[in-house]
Structure 1
Amino acid sequence: AAARVYWTLKVLGLKELSVLNGGVKAWTGAKLPLNKEGVLAPTSNYEPQLDMSLIATTQEVAQRVKSGDAVLIDARPEAFFKGETRAPMAKVPGTLPGAVNLRHDKWFAPGSSVFVSENQARQIAASSPIDPAKQTVSFCNTGHWAATNWFAMSEVLGQKNVKLYPTSMTEWSRDPNLPMDNVPSRVAQLVIDAKLWADKTFK
């Protein structure tokens, strides 16, 4: 989620941005102090300067799918990519046509929320479907997992041609005119729907 907030602020034109590596868990693990009192933020007169170059719209993604001139990176766990499950907000299981799977948690040290070093990130990129020479679109269900892939490629590795598709499969899957890969049979979709309903009802 921190990477998604970072991306949003960058879209709004802010320049001096950072992410606390490891989050609050790492902070408290280092025995650093926490403020438990409410803080009133000062009023700002900042006027946002939108940077639309960071955003991939559904229309643009559809054009990229048709032309095949971009790397479409699915940040979701493999079960989502393969169409074995879907997010409750999505209409149909599956992924974008021609997409490749690069899970968002590949960028974290095993079993932690700490981001890997730059050298380790470059090793991950070298063994992944990332192609710095091509326009890249990072997506997931709602743009949150995808923001981690975007952050790794854009802010850590310095790749300039990376965009985030913020509405991702939640919006894409709701348009029956848009193509998808890894869409299961209707029977399989009904099974997935039943499981999601049961998980929500009996949780």
Structure 2
Amino acid sequence: MSGSLFVSTEWLAAHLGEPDLVIIDGTFLLPSEGRNAYEEYRASHIPGAVFFDIDEIADHSTNLPHMLPTPEAFAKAVGALGISDTSRIVVYDTSNFQGGARVWWTLRLYGAKDVKLLAGGFARWKAEGRPLEQGQVRRPPQTFTAHFDEAGVASLDDVRAIMRDGSRQIVDARPAARFRGEAEEPRPGVRSGHIPGSFNLPSRDLVKDGEIKPPQEIAAAFGQAGVDISKPVLTTCGSGVTAAILLLGLATLGQDDVRLYDGSWSEWGARSDTPIEKS
């Protein structure tokens, strides 16, 4: 599994059931989609997969959605799922990395040493007629020793400083109409627009059929958005989920000087003391 961000369905099928291999269903669905990710997991998942609930493994002391929990809370939650920081981990989802990339990023942020994504995701696994199972998987509890990478995540104050000093390019993964302020935000009380000076690259432009596009297409997409991929980047989105897809795309290009704004537009757009642009 070393040397790549992804594993193939063939690889995963050949290693199913190995005790140190943890498979994670990281599917995340927006309320507007009218679906329930956990119920879909229970109805059908890759054998042995546990479900990583982004909304549950989160900081519940804030009203912002699925903010990162403390390292201690994260370690307890994933340890209860049967995941250790030394496990070999493969993450998949059913929605073009909408949740999978966030789970991949989060695990790495807290110190998991070997985390990959499944190329083609659940859709490919199913299309190839590979085995499925139902119900909830319970693995033996494990000890996850968290080593939180503070440099990988940005706070509101960090973003204010970056906006002022230009030390990073801010890249927003939301659809263009929301970025430009032409479409209403899905969360009540959140203004429309974007962080001043930021660039827009909708996350869906980097993904096709459950895979990140080839590196040359990723590089071209960032270039067309006005982003210099050789310089430091801050990714943002609606609530810190699809921003991880931009981060994943940059990782495929070898760019690791990237931070993710966890509060994203759910925080910035809901405040009265943060500037916004529309265009």
Q: Residue in 2 aligned with 1:135?
A: 232
Q: Give yes or no for the alignment of 1:72 onto 2:175.
A: no
TM-score, scaled relative to structure 2? 0.61
Say which of 192, 204, 207 aligns to 1:105: 204
Say which of 238, 259, 263 aligns to 1:167: 263
CA offsets, 1:5-46, max 9 Å, x none? 111111111120011122211110121111224321221112
Counterpart amino acid of residue 202 in structure 2: R
State the identity as a percent.
27
Which structure: greater strand fraction? Answer: 2
CA contact (8 A) 2:102 2:245 kept: yes
TM-score, scaled relative to structure 1? 0.82
CA contact (8 A) 1:89 1:170 kept: no
Q: Give yes or no for the alignment of 1:158 onto 2:240.
A: no
Deviation at 1:175, TM superposition (A): 2.1
Say which of 123, 143, 152 aligns to 1:25: 123
Structure 2 unaligned regions, length at least 5: 1-98
Alpha-carbon distance in structure 1 between the residues aligned to 2:115 and 2:197: 33
Counterpart amino acid of residue 92 in structure 1: R
Alpha-carbon distance in structure 2 between the residues aligned to 1:7 and 1:140: 15
Mean CA deviation greater in 120-129 or 58-67: 120-129
CA contact (8 A) 1:141 1:168 kept: yes
If asked which structure has higher relative contact order (CA below 8 Å, sep 6+), I would say 1
CA contact (8 A) 1:70 1:137 kept: yes
Q: Residue in 2 aligned with 1:194?
A: none
CA contact (8 A) 1:90 1:174 kept: yes
Q: Give yes or no for the alignment of 1:38 onto 2:136.
A: yes
Structure 1 unaligned regions, length at least 5: 184-203
